[in-house]
Amino acid sequence: MRFCRRAWRSPRTEAMRPKDLSRVIIDTTVQPKAVNVPDRCQAHQSGARDHGSAGQAPRRHASQELYRPYEFGVKVSVATPLHRCKGGQFVAHVAALPGNPYDGHTLATVISAMEDMIGNTIERAITDAGYRGHNAPPDYKFKIYTAGQKRRVTPQIKREMKRRSAVEPVIGHLKSEHRMGCNYLAHRAGDAINAVLAAVGYNFRLLLNWLRLLLRAILAALRGPFRLQLA
């Protein structure tokens, strides 16, 4: 993780600057566990196959549309910079939260762990309404803004709160492309490791894309004088 932090903050790449990490969006999601449990739909389908007459397909029941398999998993906190960095919408911090705690009761540990990892001070954090009544440290009591909040909301903060949904696509990419959507690692340690590896893979993909663009810009700048010499 130290290598990732140095790469993001390196003045040679400018993919992420230190000030980009001073204002963040914090949200939670569920990291499902790879556990197969028969649900109501599967039980109905097996019963229809057992009792269906030969040569006739079983009828589709309404419960197959209304019920989905129960997700066994762990809650995961995901933080991303409030404003998009030059290299993309990076993941600033991720942590597994076993025990299904209330969202607002996770900030006491999440904020301190985030600052230790990124080496920066959080000036402002935007969250959804699920963080009301949070237990953030006393120094951050007035730095946390939740959706629907009316007090202490200036026009600038109101504009920044419209950026809260920027964390949703990040969570979607973590689940669909970096294996946070199904965790195959066992125990609580496996939950924490899988969440961190998903965030590392996501950040490295953005960093490689940024370096690819940077290399193209350098090559394009070098071709210019070479073409002038040929002319």
Domain ranges of the chain: 2-35+72-230, 41-71
Which band of pLDDT confidence, cut at 50, 70 and 90, is reported for residue 221?
confident
Which band of pLDDT confidence, cut at 50, 70 and 90, is reported for residue 73?
confident
Amino acid symbol at 199: A
pTM of the full structure? 0.75
pLDDT at 67 over 50: no
Over residues 189-206, the mean pLDDT reads 94
Over residues 144-148, the mean pLDDT reads 90
Q: Which has more confidence, 108 or 44?
A: 108
Query: Which fold is adopted by the domain 2-35+72-230?
Result: Nucleotidyltransferase; domain 5 (3.30.420)
Which band of pLDDT confidence, cut at 50, 70 and 90, is reported for residue 17?
confident
pLDDT at 121 over 50: yes
Q: Which has more confidence, 180 or 43?
A: 180
Q: CB neighbours of 184 closer than 8 A, spacing ≥ 6?
A: 34, 190, 194
41-47 own/partner pairs: CB under 8 Å, 24+ apart: 41/67, 41/68, 41/69, 42/69
Phi/psi at 102 (5° precision): -65, 140
Which pairing describes strands 73-81 and 23-32: parallel, antiparallel, or unpaired? antiparallel
Over residues 5-12, the mean pLDDT reads 48
Question: What integer best gives the mean pLDDT of the chain?
Answer: 81
Which band of pLDDT confidence, cut at 50, 70 and 90, is reported for residue 167?
very high
